[in-house]
Structure 1
């Protein structure tokens, strides 16, 4: 059995507990939080609680640690875990700067431990089907893509914890909410050439942005549009990903990107189209993404391979966010190669 520990007993930690419980070959053995009241909610028979991460690591109860703390703490905790020779599963975003991401990857490589980053949307049934069509070449030459996150995170959401909405610990709508859809856009469209962005804090009383609009040019020559906001009234409206090509058009949408809205390809009959749409609608959520990532990490350790969503994959999504933020701050386009070259170790 691969033994898992969790550091940070907040809301997202519950998904990790459930995922570990559902994965064959994995078991939760320890949890850690500096708040004893929160900690005790996760302590059960067979799961030992710790107020200090170093104490948990020294107890040698775990092989992997899931890091579920505020984003600004990910670097320090990842390095601490890696230096204890434990594997790392880290929530998104893996870090808030490329320097921190590089240090995390370097620490894991130096200590010969594996890292997986939580980007669970890749495992949604509709997204998997979309990727299959791309791999088959069903779109032909791609013209452009569109990613949209039109969500509601009200003021009470930000007021419930002092780190929310800050640049140092949260990072804003791109870093904390849209990064999942940005990861999907990268996974589908490939490397980015250049980004031009506008950010604004329009409605929420927070330090970071609550609204962002970007135009992207990919190295393939295709274009992209990204819209992200947490200001939609009165609740989440839409998360979508659309791809438009010379022989195909597809949109995955809904309050979360789980359903096929549009599915048209050259040579595809109406019956085949409806069959795919209905098949996805029967089980739009599939196996939870956190469970897929925990299963993959468990297998990666047993079979000694690099996890599917590795630290380097997580860094690419982070670089996308940082490019958008930098463009918005400077009022100028940001070339991705220039951004990566300016951060030592950030190239592939």
Structure 2
């Protein structure tokens, strides 16, 4: 059984705690410690799970042995906390995004390389049944040449969401709608479309009192010649409406929608295939935009640690999303398209 420590006991940590409690029942993982600068948060997790609470990551790692540190701190702190885990010889599992700057993510990657520890980045939507089925169709060549990819993230984050924590909506620790709410969708677009060559974006802060954007449109040009677009807003009235991805190719069209990539709305190809019979069973009805992907993601991590699987979501893979987001913000700021292929790549 692999042991885990939890760094950060805020909003997203519940998904990790729930997952680890389920995996403990399977005899595969156990949460042994947690930390948060707000003592009440750490104590609440400790009371629920029986783990040991601490006020800081350093005090936790010095006092309690663990195999993996699950990092659920503000986005801008993710890379530094990965470095801390590596310094103590622990594997790091970071929530999305990997960070808010490429340079900090690169330092985290190098730190893990130097210490010989694993660096995982949470991309739980890749484990949605709908997305897994789409990926199988793509790898089977059913689309032929891809022409156009698009993703819409029409969600709602009211002002009181940002007011709950000073770091939210800041450039240093969070970024805006693209970096926080839509980073999983940026990952989907590069995972399905392949290497992105250039990015052009327009952004605006229309209704929220934050540093970063609450609305953004991003255009992508892929190395393959395909084009893509990502539309994101946190201003949808009155509630979350859509989290979708659409792939249009010479031999196929697929649209996966719902609130969180949970429903196959279009599935059309030029020829039948055995996986077509799995379409209806792939649809789910999650209670939140987080979906059901954390448990299979953690199972994948455990399989990697047990030597049963090759890692799919490393720090370097998570870096690709950060590079696209950083390029989009640079484009929105300068008004120019930004070339990203090969820039600062490790």
TM over 0.5: same fold? yes
Q: Which runs of 5+ in 1 are unaligned?
A: 342-346
2:45 alignment partner, SS class: coil
How much does 1:304 deviate?
7.7
The answer to whether structure 1 residue 231 and structure 2 residue 238 are counterparts is: no
1:149 counterpart residue number: 153
Question: Aligned equivalents of 1:305 and 1:149: distance in 2?
Answer: 31
Question: Aligned equivalents of 1:216 and 1:76: distance in 2?
Answer: 30
Decide which of 27, 35, 39 is 2:38's aligned counterpart: 35
Deviation readout 1:164-186 (Å, 9 max, x if unpaired)? 11111111011001110110111
Instruction: Please report the RMSD computed on the Cα atoms of aligned residues, expressed in angstroms.
Output: 1.9
| Aligned CA distance change for structure 1 residues 304 and 257 (closer, same or farther; 3 Å) | closer
Deviation readout 1:239-281 (Å, 9 max, x if unpaired)? 1100001110000001221101111100239x985x4442223
2:261 alignment partner, SS class: coil
The answer to whether structure 1 residue 216 and structure 2 residue 230 are counterparts is: no
Decide which of 185, 191, 215 is 1:187's aligned counterpart: 191
- How many residue pairs match? The answer is 339
1:344 counterpart residue number: none
How much does 1:60 deviate?
3.4
Normalising by the residue count of structure 2, what TM-score does the alignment of the two structures yield?
A: 0.94
Question: Aligned equivalents of 1:279 and 1:33: distance in 2?
Answer: 40
Normalising by the residue count of structure 1, what TM-score does the alignment of the two structures yield?
A: 0.93
Question: Aligned equivalents of 1:295 and 1:21: distance in 2?
Answer: 13
Contact 1:7 1:31 in 2 (8 A): yes
The answer to whether structure 1 residue 255 and structure 2 residue 259 are counterparts is: yes
> Mapping of 1:95-244 within 5 angstroms?
95-244=99-248
Contact 1:139 1:246 in 2 (8 A): yes
How much does 1:320 deviate?
0.9
2:19 counterpart residue number: 19
1:79 counterpart residue number: 83
Q: Which runs of 5+ in 2 are unaligned?
A: none
| Aligned CA distance change for structure 1 residues 182 and 272 (closer, same or farther; 3 Å) | closer
Question: Aligned equivalents of 1:186 and 1:95: distance in 2?
Answer: 17
| Aligned CA distance change for structure 1 residues 220 and 154 (closer, same or farther; 3 Å) | same
Q: Which moved more, 1:44-53 or 1:186-195?
A: 44-53
Contact 1:114 1:307 in 2 (8 A): no
2:280 counterpart residue number: 278
Contact 2:148 2:228 in 1 (8 A): yes
Contact 2:176 2:212 in 1 (8 A): yes
Contact 1:124 1:284 in 2 (8 A): no
Question: Aligned equivalents of 1:182 and 1:52: distance in 2?
Answer: 32
Contact 1:116 1:293 in 2 (8 A): no
Q: Which moved more, 1:297-306 or 1:121-130?
A: 297-306
Question: Aligned equivalents of 1:150 and 1:287: distance in 2?
Answer: 16
2:65 counterpart residue number: 61
Contact 2:177 2:234 in 1 (8 A): yes
Deviation readout 1:286-341 (Å, 9 max, x if unpaired)? 99322222222222222186532110010001111111111111100001126x23
| Aligned CA distance change for structure 1 residues 305 and 132 (closer, same or farther; 3 Å) | closer
